């Protein structure tokens, strides 16, 4: 089964992008490459690592890679080899399904949500947004959450400039704020 957002991209977004960007070659159009979901784990939350990794697995549908500290930093109470986070790289159909759930179910559940920032692009067409807690995703039961944890979501595209990526994400349904 082809994800709904991938079908939307192939049927609608490609035609609108060709017209808007004045490009005749489909391969020149921006498209999604991958989505990286990164969850940093605080030193105080070390006992909840398994729960947070399980939540990230439920959210993304893929087992995360646990990241460890490369160096010891005494000011942050981090020693070399300590678990400091978990990350997942999504590609293909899972990427489109995750983005669809993010845009249509998770972001609207955020309290006082007025859209995501338009200025969170990196200058090369990638977009990063932060979410303060994992309970906005429908896969997570808020009653079973022991520790709330935020995450960073990076959407990597083939766009050369931010305006192309912004236009593509807008056509896919990303709710950008007015500013």
Q: What are the phi and psi torsion angles at 23 (to 5°)?
A: -120, 135
Look up the domain containing 132 and give its range.
4-172
pTM for the whole structure = 0.89
Tell me if 119 is assigned to some domain: yes
pLDDT digits (tens, 9 = 90+) for 122-151: 888 899 999 988 888 888 888 888 888 889
Cα torsion 113, 115, 120, 126 to 10°: value is 120
Distance from C-alpha of 108 to C-alpha of 96, rounded to nearest angstrom: 18
Contact by Cβ (8 Å): 117, 145: no
Q: What is the pLDDT along the chain (179 residues), one digit of tens a residue?
A: 889 999 999 999 999 999 998 988 889 999 999 999 999 887 556 667 888 888 899 999 999 999 888 988 888 788 888 888 899 999 999 999 999 999 998 888 888 888 888 888 988 889 999 998 888 888 888 888 888 888 999 999 999 999 999 999 999 999 988 65
User: Is position 178 within any domain?
Assistant: no
CATH number at 111 reads 3.30.1440.10
Residue 124 located in a structural domain: yes
| DSSP calls for 40-80 | E--GGGGGGHHHHHHHHHHHHSSPPEEEE-SS-BGGGTB-T
Q: Is residue 179 part of a domain?
A: no
In a domain, 16, yes or no: yes
Q: Would residue 141 count as lying in a domain?
A: yes
Distance of CA 29 to the CA centre of its chain: 21
Q: Is residue 177 part of a domain?
A: no
Count structural domains, the chain: 1
């Amino acid at each position: 089964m082809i994800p709904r957002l991938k079908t939307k991209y192939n049927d609608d977004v490609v035609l609108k992008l060709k017209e808007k960007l004045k490009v005749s070659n489909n391969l020149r159009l921006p498209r999604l490459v991958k989505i990286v979901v990164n969850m940093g784990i605080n030193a105080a939350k070390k006992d909840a690592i398994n729960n947070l990794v399980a939540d990230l697995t439920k959210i993304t549908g893929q087992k995360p890679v646990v990241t460890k500290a490369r160096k010891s930093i005494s000011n942050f109470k981090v020693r070399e080899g300590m678990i400091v986070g978990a990350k997942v790289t999504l590609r293909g159909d899972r990427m489109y399904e995750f983005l669809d759930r993010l845009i249509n179910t998770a972001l609207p559940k955020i309290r006082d949500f007025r859209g995501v920032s338009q200025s969170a692009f990196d200058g090369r067409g990638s977009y990063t947004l932060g979410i303060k807690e994992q309970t906005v995703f429908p896969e997570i039961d808020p009653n079973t959450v022991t520790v709330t944890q935020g995450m960073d979501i990076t959407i990597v595209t083939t766009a050369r400039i931010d305006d192309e990526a912004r236009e593509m994400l807008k056509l896919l349904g990303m709710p950008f704020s007015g500013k």
